[in-house]
Structure 1
Amino acid sequence: METQPDSNLTDSNLTDSNLTEIPSGETWNYEATVAKVETIIRQIETGELALADVFDQFSAAVEYLHECEYFLDQRQQQMDLLIETLSDDSDF
C-alpha cells in the first residue's frame, strides 16, 4: 500500500488556519486517507519500518491528517451554510 506523502502538496498549500488543502485534480477520498494513516500507525507500532522511514512515514501521516481536517472543516462550513439557508427560508 502506498504511504508516501502526495508530491503535489507543498507549504504553499497551507491555509491561514494551518490546514492543508486537498490535492486538486485528483480523486481524494476521506476514508482512503484515514486508512493510509492507520496503515502508517500500524507499521510504526509493529516496528516494520527502519528508523529513518519512521520519520518519513510519520510526516506523511501528519500531512494526511491535515488533509482530513481540511476536508471536515470545509464540509462543516457547507453544512452551516445550508442550515443558515434553511433558517432564512423558514422566515417567509
Structure 2
Amino acid sequence: MVKRKNASNPDGETDWNYETKVAEIEAIITRIESGELELETVFNEFANAVQYLRQCETFLQQRQQQVDLLIETLSDE
C-alpha cells in the first residue's frame, strides 16, 4: 500500500489514502453487520462510512479529471 502525500486530497490530510479509506469503510460495514453495536454507535459508524465514501468519490473524480486532461493533451498532439 502506497501512502500518497498530496495537498489536494479530499480531506486535506497529508497522509490520506484511498485504499485505507476503503478498508475503513469495509471494517465499518462488518461492525454494523455484526449486530453487536448499540444503535447510537451504528448511526455514528454509518455517518463515518458516508463521509469516507464522499472522500473516495471526490478523490476518484479528481483523478478522472486528471486522466481526461492527459488524454486531451495527447489527442492535441
Please state which band the TM-score falls in when normalised by the shorter chain.
0.7 to 0.9
Gaps of 5+ in 2: 1-8
Does 1:62 pair with 2:27? no
Does 1:87 pair with 2:71? no
Matches within 5 A, 1:1-92: 22-89=10-77
RMSD, aligned α-carbons: 1.1
Amino-acid identity (%): 58
SS at match of 1:24: coil
Q: Check 1:43–1:22 CA distance in 2 against 1; reply closer, same or farther (3 A cut).
A: same
SS at match of 2:35: coil
TM-score, with structure 1 as normaliser: 0.71
More helix by share: 2
TM-score, with structure 2 as normaliser: 0.84
* Larger RCO, structures 1/2 (Cα 8 Å, 6+ apart): 1
SS at match of 1:37: helix
Residue 48 of structure 1: CA displacement?
2.9
User: CA separation in 2, counterparts of 1:41 and 1:31?
Assistant: 15
Runs of 4 or more off by more than 2 Å in structure 1? none
